[in-house]
Amino acid sequence: MNGDFSPLHFGPDELDAWLAGVRAPELVGHVSACPECRELVRAEEALIGQLAALPLYAPAADFGERVMASVRIPDPFAIRALQGARRRLLASRRSVAIAATVAVVLLGSMAASAAWTLANRDTLLAAGNWLAGEAGRWAWVGLRGAALNLIEQPWFSGFRSLVDAPARLAVASGAMSLMYVSGIFALRRLLAIPTQRVAHANG
Angle between helices 156-164 and 166-191 (to 10 degrees): 110
Cβ pair 30, 57 in contact under 8 A: no
The H or E element spanning position 84 is helix 76-89
Among 8, 46, 91, 179, binds other proteins (CB under 8 A): 46
CA of residue 188 relative to chain centroid, distance? 44
Closer residue to other proteins (CB): 81 or 132: 81
What mask of x and - would describe binding to other proteins in positions 9 to 38, judged by CB under 8 A? ---x--xx----------------------
Query: Candidates 25-33, 66-74, 137-145, 192-200 — which segment interacts with other proteins by CB under 8 A?
Result: 66-74
* Distance in Å, CB of 53 to other proteins, minimum: 8
**Does residue 66 contact residue 37 with C-beta atoms inside 8 Å?**
no
Q: How far is the CB of 74 from other proteins (least distance, A)?
A: 4
Within 68-87, which residues bind other proteins (CB under 8 A)? 68, 70-76, 78-79
Give the whole-angstrom CA distance, residue 84 versus residue 81.
Answer: 5
Rounded to a whole number of angstroms, the minimum distance from the CB of residue 42 to other proteins is 9
